[in-house]
Structure 1
Amino acid sequence: MREVREIEVDGDSMHVLVCSEPERPDKPSLWPSLGEYPIYDPHLYATMTTDEERNKRFRSALGQLAPGKHVVDIGTGQDLLWARESVQAGARQVTAIEVVDDAFRQAAVNLPSYDVQDRVTLLLGESTSLEFAPKADVCVAEIIGSLASAEGAAAVLTDARRRHLAPDGMVVPHRAVTQAAAGCLADILGEQHVAFAAESIPYLQSIFNWNTAPFDVRLRVENASPAALVSDSAVIESLDFNGTLHTAQETTTRLTVQRPGRIDGVLTWLQLWCLPDEDPLDALRMETNWAAIYFPLFEAPVPVEPGDSLNLTFGSTLSADGVHPDYQLSATLRTAGGHAHQGSLESPHRGGPFRAQPAYRFLFPAA
């Protein structure tokens, strides 16, 4: 059942459309995007530390790269997962960095119980500001978002390669890309209502409180089905952590409609390699804590047929904090008979418009 709930942000009340039915692991659900905001709690950390699709890839890479080496773990979290795994793999020394105060404090409490403190040094702060010596041989950083760059990986790891890594140092993960395909949000959610999952509302409120105002958050779709997409897919951003790494990108691609349906936006998802020659983690097709991100582009769903095309431009530029990206999307959908439909979206990391698109006006009804 769908219902309107009231939440309060900085003393002002607002309405949110909520699906009150419990989430099911085999059904899609709608959340705000989470990873790029400092709102981590034990539940979110637990979903990451139990993500075996992710973990087996990071472990395999550390097993090859960490033995006998100095490792820096950026974003170690309250469980110091990759710091501990690095020691387990044979690292001689680990520098573990955490920027979130609560996570750092809990990590400091947890560290003695892991019996690795003789080889792990825990630091509080932003890796882009901290200094330590000697330089590391390996950098492990699980700061990859459901959009590959959303958590600031490009800026943070560009800095880490310049200041924290030895000249021949290696980064784990090796590469991440964001894929995109066209579809309609209502069809992607299937039998579920177009409304935020009830379990997501505390996180939505935390994001708004952190920002001190509501804004059009990125829309996270958990358990999205590839069958709901009507076009082929294409890479719209690429992060080569051991190659040429860009903190700003712009990609223009053409998506071709492959089956009848309707389009009102694009669904994006992560593919990740921890080693160059492995099969990638695919967040749309595998069970993982990463999810798909949906961007609304058109005022209303547009019917499409096979052969119609969507020309999509996706850009990212660093936000005011110099770490997290802002995204810019524009699209032209060309349908039978030569009709052209224009759409665009600005998706800043912080702030920006509220209820600027029909999708957001629907999710956040006016009082």
Structure 2
Amino acid sequence: MRIEYHRTLIADEVRNDAFFRALKSLIVPGKTMVADIGAGTGLLGLMASKLGAKEVFLFETAEVAGVAAQVLKANRAKNCHLIPCHSTEFDDRLSADVIVSETLGNYALEENIIGTLADARSRFLKPGGAIVPSQIAQYVSPVVSARIDDELRAWGRIGHGLDLGPAQMMTLNNAYVRLVQPSELLDDGASAVAWDAVDLRRETRAKRKGRAEWRVAKPATVFGFAVWWTAELVAGVSLSTAPASPRTHWEQLYFPLTRPVQVKAREQIAIELRSNSSEEAGTHLAWTAVHENAQGAVLSRQAHDLNKGYLP
């Protein structure tokens, strides 16, 4: 069991404080029923209990559910009910006032939060109830620092007359969790573009697709793209993995390019991003970079697909 992973979650004070404030704004002591989807070791459910929730239902699977059971017992949380299965496997209906789920990844949707909350919303939530988080926006910015690119091109520096090109291409068809500094981004990240917006309160597709583009004011070399997200938990309370935001246990995602792109002033660089997440198949990612001259003619196009980089 990855107890160390769960330790990093509960050690994330930025995350914990944001969810606490969101729950506090929604819970009416003695009245509010809460469903905690993907409860982990039980922290958010316990927060809801301490804030006065009438009842809290915690859904968690596998070994960590056993830890959550012990944690609830240690806290004498008699109004907390642990359900040791995935919420989609629970046959009964609930009538929750609040559904909370911290099933966010470095790539926001990698834990299938869209499908999981769609099911919970339809079967567990009262009319007019609240979902936390309520919305997710995904952002992207060109990376103009060679630091991560240099790291990924180790295959080409092996020497000895050897060619490890096929392995290099697999490396460049993967996405990487990396901490990116604002100074490594185009315009220090100020020109980041929101390429996707998800409203978890409404029916939405698990397949996501978006495009972002930048017409540069001065020459730049683009080595890849950084992606991050901002989640609105409730109105006025947000959580972000942006490079300039307070540090959390999450980091940004880095999408490489096969070849760095030299972009001249007034030329355009664009990226088209696609993803699909499901409980059965995990998360698939694909991205295509397009370089155009000042007149809009395509100078180069580089298509990348995680399936080409995945090694079982």
- TM-score tier by shorter-chain length is 0.7 to 0.9
Q: Could you report, residue by residue, the CA deviation over 1:269-292 in whole angstroms, capped at 9, with x for unpaired residues?
A: 111221223455343222111110
The percent of aligned pairs where both chains have the same amino acid is: 23
Distance 1:146 1:47 in 2: 13
Aligned to 2:51: 89
Any idea what SS the aligned residue of 1:303 has? strand
Larger CA deviation: 242-251 vs 62-71: 242-251
Aligned residue-pair number = 288
Aligned to 1:254: 213
Any idea what SS the aligned residue of 1:331 has? strand
Q: What's the TM-score, normalizing by structure 2?
A: 0.82
Check whether the contact 2:100–2:133 (CA below 8 A) recurs between aligned residues: yes
Question: Of the candidates 53, 59, 74, which is equivalent to residue 14 of structure 2?
Answer: 53
Q: Which amino acid aligns with 1:60?
A: R
Aligned to 2:168: none
Q: Give unmatched runs, 5+ long, in structure 2.
A: 155-170
Question: Of the candidates 282, 286, 291, which is equivalent to residue 328 of structure 1?
Answer: 286
Q: How does 1:245-284 map onto structure 2 within 5 Å?
A: 245-278=204-237, 280-284=239-243
Any idea what SS the aligned residue of 2:120 has? helix
Any idea what SS the aligned residue of 1:300 has? strand
Any idea what SS the aligned residue of 1:299 has? strand
Any idea what SS the aligned residue of 1:341 has? strand
Q: How does 1:33-72 map onto structure 2 within 5 Å?
A: 41-67=2-28, 68-72=31-35
Cα distance, 1:234–1:287 mapped onto 2, change above 3 Å: same
Q: How does 1:106-117 map onto structure 2 within 5 Å?
A: 106-116=67-77
Q: How does 1:144-183 map onto structure 2 within 5 Å?
A: 144-183=104-143
Q: How big is the shift at 1:53?
A: 1.8
**Structure 1 segments (4+ residues) deviating >6 Å:** none
Q: Which amino acid aligns with 1:130?
A: F
Q: Could you report, residue by residue, the CA deviation over 1:35-79 in whole angstroms, capped at 9, with x for unpaired residues?
A: xxxxx622221221121222221111100112221111011112x
Q: Which amino acid aligns with 1:313?
A: E
Q: Give unmatched runs, 5+ long, in structure 1.
A: 1-39, 197-213, 357-367
Distance 1:353 1:138 in 2: 41
Check whether the contact 1:185–1:294 (CA below 8 A) recurs between aligned residues: no
Superposed CA RMSD in Å reads 2.8
Aligned to 1:227: 183
Q: Which amino acid aligns with 1:330?
A: T
Q: How big is the shift at 1:268?
A: 0.2
Q: What's the TM-score, normalizing by structure 1?
A: 0.71
Q: How big is the shift at 1:308?
A: 2.6
Any idea what SS the aligned residue of 1:264 has? strand
